[in-house]
Structure 1
Amino acid sequence: MDIRNIKKAYMIGIKGSGVIAVVEILHSMGVEITGSDTNEKFFTDEILQKLNIPYFEKFEAKNIPSDVDLVVYSTAYNENNNVEFKEAKRRSLEMISYPEILAKLFNEKYGIAVCGTHGKTTTSAMLAHTLKEIGVDPSAVIGSRVINWEGNALSGKGEFFVAETDEFQNKLRMYNPKGIILTSLDFDHPDTFPNFADYKNAFADFVVRIPKTGFLVVWGDSVDTLEVSKETICQVLTYGFGEENDYKISSLELQKFEVEHNGKSLGGFEIKLIGKHNILNATAVIAVCHKLNLDLEKVKEALKNFQGTKRRFEYIGQSNGAILIDDYGHHPEEIKATLKGAREIYPQKNIWAVFQPHLYSRTEALLQEFSQSFSDIDHVIVLDIYGSARENDGKVNSLDLVKLINKFDRDKAQYLKTIDEAVKFLQDKIGSEDIVIAIGAGNGWEVVEKLKEK
């Protein structure tokens, strides 16, 4: 299949944060797009409306046009759980999954993949933004809306293609990258990988795909990422805080830092984003740009004006003087990093986290780790677990998590079943001394949006 010959495409799951990026690229290529999803509202609705792309908010067989050239589907859907998928198969239409079409677009260019358990979205967005600002006109697909662009994708004419690549269902095997950033490794996706060894192997198999002339930029402070890096035949460049790293972070002061390359200073850098994890993300970008012999003065300016991505410690507004933040963190290590960063910026504030666990399988597998993720803040509200098309029930519930949190931090956590209950509870308790952070990959962000309206 030659994508350049596609005239009309239909997207099943068009509101997905990854699918929408492919929509943007195909639309820029002149492909006529339609699609469908649920009626639940996402930030991607705004992108579709901005592009004037029509879409259905219900899955029905009759939605698929008779003259469509290609059906692109989210991997959340299959013949057993989606009537449109079943209809497309019945009609013998050309079908391709979202990760497959992304890989096809990516593999045609000098592809730089950003992978790892944490930081993929921010790092890939930061790299793509930097390349764009430098003037090399990259293509990019990011898993969230980039605030600087108000979109998820770039469809440039330059040689580089930056992609946030997802290990879920082992989609990594579809890509042939020239370069990779490996940000971190912690066990995740227990519904796909039975144990950490299998999870790690997915990344080991991925870095092997880099040609000898390519590069691997890897977080050098982690035993696990370094172990994976030994599998590749290409040049390996490490970054981090440790003395042994090729790109060493020094002189850190909140959002300002210096980077040394093999003992020589590359100068001072500054970012708007909070937390040491984002300093690491920025240093990975610096390492790639330095490797590609790009102008570091322009890199400094680009990093300084990068505003982040949607749902990554995003300022939403205020309610009764309280600051409202939304964050996508849904793994214990992400939550810890986000809340630690919040405490560094707001040392005297009373910090509330409204946490909506994402997926029963993840909550069960990492229950103990989740319970110890909130030590840097004052209060935790735990909502019901957010299920998915893949699962809507499990062996654990949010009350189990609340009990465990309170075992470590007495009376810190409480269970509130719904978003509306959390809003009602908080609106009379918060004021100018408070920060409220909605955290999770589901729709828990509605808590801070509704508080803003009060």
Structure 2
Amino acid sequence: MKQKIDLGEIRKVYMVGIKGSGMIAFVEIFNALGKEVFGSDVAEEFFTDATLKRLGIEYTEGFSRKNIAKHQDVDLVVHSTAYNQDNNVELEYADKNYLPILSYPEMIAAFSEEKTTIAICGTHGKTTTTAMTTLALKECGADPTAIVGSKVKQLNSNIAIGESEFLVLEADEYQNKLASYSPEGVVLLNVEFDHPDYFKSIKEYKEVFVAFVKKIPKEGFLIVCADDLNAISVAKHAKCKVVAYGTFQKEGQIQRVAKEFDDGGVKEFEFFLIPEDLKMKVPGIHNRLNATAVLAVCAQLGLDEKTAKKAVNDYEGVSRRFEEVGKRNGALVIDDYAHHPTEIVATLAAAKERYPKKNLICVFHPHTFSRTKALLDEFAKSFEDADEVIVLDIYGSARESQGGVSSKELVSKAKKYHQNINHIATINEVYDKLESKIGKGDIVLTVGAGDIDKLAKKLVNDI
């Protein structure tokens, strides 16, 4: 039963899917606000387990009516979008017993009602840009609250709880969570087809972003990457001020973007170029573009440019985003969440930029059968900057049935573009191959949205 929730009256919260990267943010928020937090999730270990342990949060492994029945005095049940009343016995029980229930995006909507929300959205780069925006606003004295999709190194958390009206939100498009949010400012990083298990076409995928930017109030703003044609075609539907940032390296690009906005009826727009004096700790042109988006946000909020620039230059990263895990036999092991062909290309390019003389070994764990099948040709072409590539068996989602494509098929296609690419089925088998082979001339880059980070940690820790 969906109800309007008075968050000030909430004392006890039960969370179904408590280990989710979004859900863990509210675990931290509720805990910091003095609420009692309980919950449940699968037994599999995730990076969020460490947060639950640090906070001393009790949760049950597995789902059962008994779990929630013993918490009849809860004021609110919050659930991951992976679960609902039809596929989860705890939510079915809560609904039948008239307990207040909110999904994760509904929880964000309720939480943001009293806030001025800046939403970071797009196919790639959301977590990094949300983290950078949060740190820049903090450095500039704006003291935001923030919800980030992974742990920010400089915060040692994936949230910030501030005293100002600002909420910086990582806004995920999957399952159209964007429909729940009503931000005053939006950053649109890029739009490229993803989540084929939910969206049937790029047209359907883009429509979610179009509907989102249309909701921005006239007095709000939209920051959009001009280097992304799909993003520009979405942005022209905005009724607010639009700021287009980018490299603007192509001749006539500014004029073409301006015409798109004129044709779309955008009343006010301006351009924002990558500053030449960015000297960031994190590598890659994609990160310099992300930083430029952050600087554009700060400019719209009237914050000090020099202070904001210092914040993005000092940005140290987030968990699982080009994260240097440690060394094995002198080889540096880096872990990254890249799970889309464009993200793989950007991550490998960043590795080559930072370590041009090293032998780059990419270990890729494809994430979901639906994505691998839909983007198979693009994945096959994405490893150019790697010297050696290992592809594991596909990491299947709980939301899909297996089949339709295999890692062997991906490797077969990729051999047309990269000779040194091979299939090795499991993390343990890859570990056995690499543990004694790698040395100080190598970089091992583990890539994927599943549990490939376990390989990175095993290589570093099992010595």
Specify if TM > 0.5. yes
Write the deviation string for residues 224-263 of structure 1: whole angstroms up to 9, x where unpaired. Answer: 11111110110000100006569xxxxxxxxxxxxxx869
- The equivalent position to 1:74 in structure 2, one of 67, 76, 80, is 80
How big is the shift at 1:392?
4.1
Distance 2:23 2:243 in 1: 31
Could you tell which deviates more after superposition, 272-281 or 377-386? 377-386
- Is residue 23 of structure 1 aligned with residue 9 of structure 2? no
Aligned to 1:270, the other structure's residue is in SS state coil
Aligned-residue sequence identity (percent) comes to: 49
Match of 2:202 in 1: 196
How big is the shift at 1:69?
1.1
Match of 1:424 in 2: 432
- The equivalent position to 1:225 in structure 2, one of 219, 231, 238, is 231
- Is residue 237 of structure 1 aligned with residue 230 of structure 2? no
Could you tell which deviates more after superposition, 103-112 or 202-211? 103-112
Ranges in structure 1 where 5+ consecutive residues have no aligned partner: 247-260
Distance 1:390 1:190 in 2: 12
Distance 1:265 1:382 in 2: 35
Whether the 8 Å contact between 2:37 and 2:57 is mirrored in structure 1 is yes
Whether the 8 Å contact between 1:106 and 1:163 is mirrored in structure 2 is no
One-letter amino acid of the structure 2 residue matched with residue 189 of structure 1? H
How big is the shift at 1:221?
1.4
Distance 2:95 2:189 in 1: 38
How big is the shift at 1:39?
1.8
- Is residue 131 of structure 1 aligned with residue 140 of structure 2? no
Instruction: From the superposition, tell whether residues 262 and 395 of structure 1 become closer, same or farther in structure 2 (CA, over 3 Å).
Output: closer
One-letter amino acid of the structure 1 residue matched with residue 451 of structure 2? N
Match of 1:12 in 2: 16
Aligned to 1:180, the other structure's residue is in SS state strand
Match of 2:351 in 1: 342
How big is the shift at 1:85?
2.1
Distance 1:345 1:176 in 2: 39
Whether the 8 Å contact between 1:77 and 1:389 is mirrored in structure 2 is no
Instruction: From the superposition, tell whether residues 132 and 241 of structure 1 become closer, same or farther in structure 2 (CA, over 3 Å).
Output: same
- Is residue 32 of structure 1 aligned with residue 36 of structure 2? yes
Distance 1:116 1:265 in 2: 19
Write the deviation string for residues 362-408 of structure 1: whole angstroms up to 9, x where unpaired. Answer: 11100110111101111111111111221241201111111111122
Match of 1:439 in 2: 447
How big is the shift at 1:358?
0.7
- The equivalent position to 1:100 in structure 2, one of 103, 106, 110, is 106
Match of 2:304 in 1: 295
Write the deviation string for residues 20-39 of structure 1: whole angstroms up to 9, x where unpaired. Answer: 11221122222110111112
- The equivalent position to 1:409 in structure 2, one of 414, 418, 427, is 418
Distance 1:309 1:264 in 2: 25
One-letter amino acid of the structure 2 residue matched with residue 401 of structure 1? L
Which aligned pairs between 1:38-437 and structure 2 lie closer than 5 A? 38-64=42-68, 65-242=71-248, 268-410=277-419, 412-437=420-445
Aligned to 1:447, the other structure's residue is in SS state helix
Distance 1:279 1:107 in 2: 32
Ranges in structure 2 where 5+ consecutive residues have no aligned partner: 256-269
Instruction: Tell me the matched-pair count.
Output: 440
Aligned to 1:269, the other structure's residue is in SS state coil
Q: TM-score normalised to the size of structure 2?
A: 0.92
One-letter amino acid of the structure 2 residue matched with residue 378 of structure 1? D
How big is the shift at 1:266?
6.8
Match of 2:267 in 1: none
Distance 1:405 1:264 in 2: 36
How big is the shift at 1:112?
0.4
Instruction: From the superposition, tell whether residues 389 and 266 of structure 1 become closer, same or farther in structure 2 (CA, over 3 Å).
Output: closer
Instruction: From the superposition, tell whether residues 245 and 41 of structure 1 become closer, same or farther in structure 2 (CA, over 3 Å).
Output: farther
CA root-mean-square deviation: 1.8
Q: TM-score normalised to the size of structure 1?
A: 0.94
Match of 1:251 in 2: none
